[in-house]
Structure 1
Amino acid sequence: MPEQHKAVRALGMAIWADKKRLFSQTWVEFAVAWVRLFLISAYLFASAWRHPPVTAKMQKSGGSDFSKPPLRA
């Protein structure tokens, strides 16, 4: 009976260790995916902040040119 108890306990420990390893790997992959998503989002936000899109209205009118003096009426 004690030998059977040792075998069952060893099997239980092996299953527990395997589940713990798999669970840890899943959480690591999940965290890496979130970090990757955050870094991509931060890069795209910074890129959009530095280079705002030119709207169609500004393209047609030529936009604002502050290098010229204002027109006097």
Structure 2
Amino acid sequence: MGKGINTALGDAVNLAFRIEGLTRKLDKPMLVSAQFVEHWPEGRQYFKSCGYHEVKGRAEMIEVFSLE
């Protein structure tokens, strides 16, 4: 692939990659974003907040949740 080729991956995949990087820092096997939990109200009971964290490429800190 050459320079200047765009992909369909975009911001959501970038954020998922950054959240995955937090699994080692927080010693959790799986993390999801607050947005994921907000869009699955039936599943909220299975997750616990791990607080707000800085991720590269984001001006604001994001809240992440671990699977209980």
The TM tier, using the shorter chain, reads under 0.3
TM-score (structure 1 length as normaliser): 0.23
Looking at secondary structure, tell me which structure has more strand per residue: 2
Larger radius of gyration: 1
Q: Which one has more relative contact order, counting CA pairs under 8 Å at least 6 apart?
A: 2
TM-score (structure 2 length as normaliser): 0.23
Looking at secondary structure, tell me which structure has more helix per residue: 1
